[in-house]
Amino acid sequence: MQLIAKDSDRNVALMLDGFDYPAILVSADYEILATNELYTETFGEIPRDRGSRCYEVSHGYRVPCDQAGESCPLLACKSSGSKERVLHIHSTPRGKEHVDVEMLPIRGEDGELKYFVEILKPVTIASAEFSTQQMVGRSPAFNRLVEMINLVSSRDTSVLLMGESGTGKELAAKAIHDASPRHKHTMVTVECAGLTETLFESELFGHVKGAFTGAVSNKPGLLENAEGGTLFLDEIGDVPLGMQVKLLRLIETGSYRAVGSTQLKRAQFRLICATHKNLMEQVASGAFREDLYYRINAFPIVLPPLRERREDVGLIAKSILRKLSPDENYRLTDSGIKMLSACHFAGNVRELRNVLERATIFAHSNIIDFKILERCLLDAAPRKKIPETFVWEDLKTREARYLNDLLSHCEGDKAQAAKIAGISLRSFYRKLGLIQQ
Ligand SMILES: Nc1ncnc2c1ncn2[C@@H]1O[C@H](COP(=O)(O)OP(=O)(O)OP(=O)(O)O)[C@@H](O)[C@H]1O
């Protein structure tokens, strides 16, 4: 235990060493009075030269978190008088990190709130810095998502992940599984879209020899691989109605039969489902069973679209670039980030990934700036998005647009594009600014 303020109550501070996590003792006016050893090991010593208030040390703020646009667990603790929990992003020696903060009030003999113990659990399911392994982000919307995943991962509760296509539902399912007590077992993903009832049943439950034409031997189902682990049903909204009954029975009784078999088997798994559809609407239209909906929806988590967390675009883009080409060391310029952050991205992170992959193909060096991205985004824009009202533009711009469209029609084959345009390859390069005039 390290005492920071001399006048703090040593006996109260000693209690910090009883915690299994980094912990600090804080006064009612935010002053850090003491830290335990685990705190120093994880977050370093409290710097003596800068302020020692919790918001200064953990965030580099000059004012308490609530005045800097974040929730303040100490303030919440003061008003509720009981334990409060919140997910914050803290500055650490390793950069920004997600931290699960628990604040416990300690009362003096007179019953007044005297001290606060802040327990700081590092959250490893996501990264607030560039990473190729995890979900990345630091926006408030992303933090709320991480908070939900962090809360539910240690339980066995069924989770329903909802969000537009490409928002990271599969990545979130993996994060839940990896942080759960089942992480040593397998997470089995079943892509429910496009499977007929028969195929779905034999994939999930397996079949015995002779169950149907082509069943030449016994085949175990995916459920056996998921034993003890996690079953992730992606696009659950696409499960055929007939199969929904069998799924409900499996969830309710934990038992199933392989196709063609009378033997009852038992399955032990944690269920995570994902959908981009509005399941409530599907229930209303009769396409999805209401009883199954309530079974799978014990803990719903909504994944925000990328356009609702634009602050994350730069960090996600840099992480994707590194993942796409680990050796190229691509550098995304500020102008590039600005341009990407303004995009609508109906296909969310997956669309961003596609744009960046195209950018790496167009880039002549390891610099990706707005000019390269403009080209990728232009090529990506569906034709119907071109404004209907005709805008007169200068000849050079119109020519460049024509040549770019032609080049994309020719799938990047410049020689073919130049031939169709009726100009030499050299002129083609020159007109597109690919060589000096
Ligand atoms: N926060 C994030 N940080 C980094 N990469 C991300 C993040 N979210 C999503 N991705 C990446 O975006 C792509 C799409 O993610 P994922 O497949 O999990 O989305 P999805 O919501 O399951 O999509 P669909 O509904 O189409 O199945 C993947 O390459 C994934 O690694």
Give yes or no for residue 137 CB within 6 A of ligand 1.
yes
Give yes or no for residue 167 CB within 6 A of ligand 1.
yes
Residue spans of the domains in the chain: they are 2-122, 154-302, 311-431
**Extended beta strands in 177-236, E state:** 187-191, 206-207, 219-220, 230-234
Asked whether the predicted pLDDT for residue 195 surpasses 90, the reply is: no
Give yes or no for residue 170 CB within 6 A of ligand 1.
yes
For 142-183, the pLDDT digits (tens) are 999 999 999 999 999 999 999 999 999 999 999 999 999 999
Q: Whose CA is nearest to atom 24 of ligand 1?
A: 165
The full DSSP string for 239-261 is: S-HHHHHHHHHHHHHSEEE-BT-
Amino acid 21: pLDDT: 94
- Domain 154-302: what homologous superfamily? P-loop containing nucleotide triphosphate hydrolases (3.40.50.300)
Give yes or no for residue 135 CB within 6 A of ligand 1.
yes
pLDDT: which is higher, 31 or 160? 160
Answer for the pair 13, 3: CB distance below 8 angstroms, yes or no.
yes
Amino acid 354: pLDDT: 94
For 53-67, the pLDDT digits (tens) are 888 888 888 888 888
Pocket test for ligand 1, best of 142, 167, 345 (most atoms within 8 A of CB): 167
Report the 3 state secondary structure along 316-361: HHHHHHHHHCCCCCCEECHHHHHHHHCCCCCCHHHHHHHHHHHHHH
Answer for the pair 197, 240: CB distance below 8 angstroms, yes or no.
yes
Amino acid 411: pLDDT: 67
ipTM above 0.90, yes or no: yes
Average pLDDT over residues 71-80: 89
Domain at 311-431: CATH code: 1.10.8.60
- What CATH number does domain 2-122 carry, 3.30.70.260, 3.40.50.720, 3.30.450.20, 1.10.8.60? 3.30.450.20
Separation of CA 167 and ligand 1 centre (Å): 5
Amino acid 384: pLDDT: 44
Please check whether the two domains, 2-122 and 154-302, share a CATH topology. no
Amino acid 379: pLDDT: 53
pLDDT: which is higher, 416 or 330? 330
> Which of 107-116, 222-231, 384-393 is the least confident region?
384-393
For 295-334, the pLDDT digits (tens) are 999 999 999 999 999 999 999 999 999 999 988 889 999 9
Separation of CA 166 and ligand 1 centre (Å): 5
